[in-house]
Amino acid sequence: MASGPRPGTTAPEPPSGAGRRPRFRPDTRLVVLVGVLLVICVVGQLTRPDAFLTEGNVSTMLRLAAAIGVVSVGMTFVIIGGGIDLSVGSIVALSSVWMTTLATQSFGPVTMMICALLVGAGCGLVNGVLVAYGRVVPFIATLAMLVSARGLAERISGGQTQVVREDGFSDALRGDLLGVPVLIWVFAAVVAAGWVVLERTTFGRRTLAVGGNPEAARLAGIDVRRHTMWLYVLLGACCGIAAMLVVARTTSGASTNGLLYELDAIAAVVIGGALLSGGRGSMIGTVVGVLIFTVIGNVFTLNNLPTDVQNIAKGGIIVLAVLFQSLNLRGTRIRRGPPPAPSTASSTESSPAPSPAPSPARSTAESRPDH
Q: pLDDT tens for residues 317-335?
A: 778 777 877 776 665 556 5
pLDDT confidence of residue 139: 93
CA dist., res. 5 & res. 12, Å (int): 9
User: Rounded to an integer, what distance in angstroms lies between the CA atom of residue 339 and that of residue 115?
Assistant: 53
Average pLDDT rounded to a whole number, residues 304-311: 81
Burial of 37 (0-12, 13-18, 19+ CB in 10 A): middle
User: What pLDDT is recorded for position 161?
Assistant: 83
pLDDT beyond 60 at 50:
yes
Split at pLDDT 50, 70, 90, the class of 17 is very low
Check if the beta carbon of residue 112 is closer than 8 Å to that of residue 103.
yes
By mean pLDDT, which of 37-41, 251-255, 261-265, 367-371 is the weakest?
367-371
Lowest mean pLDDT among 24-38, 68-82, 274-288: 24-38
pLDDT at 230 over 80: yes
214/1: higher pLDDT: 214
Position 240 confidence tier, pLDDT thresholds 50, 70, 90: very high
